[in-house]
Amino acid sequence: APPASGRWYPSVRVAEAHPLAVHAAQLDLPIEREQRCGEWFARVSLSNERRNLIFDFADRFPDLRGWQLASVGGMPTS
């Protein structure tokens, strides 16, 4: 079987009222509003230089799930 390849990348999406959205604004990170299924979300953009903030967010906001912080791509299908 070919070796698995892929990568992870920051993909921060939380409810607009979540404290992470406020924290991201305090860090002066770019935030976009996004509506899904009638609900508003804050989508936080992280540059490559600041992508490790994901780990700080995970520590600071333990209520978040992995899918709210990052996505993966390039994995082979089964």
Strands in 1-78 per DSSP E: 7-10, 12-15, 31-36, 39-44, 70-73
13 residue type, one letter: R
Please give the pLDDT value at position 4.
64
Please give the pLDDT value at position 75.
77
Please give the pLDDT value at position 1.
56
Domain boundaries, the chain: 9-65
Residue whose tokens read 């600041």:
50
* Spans of the chain below 70 pLDDT: 1-4, 77-78
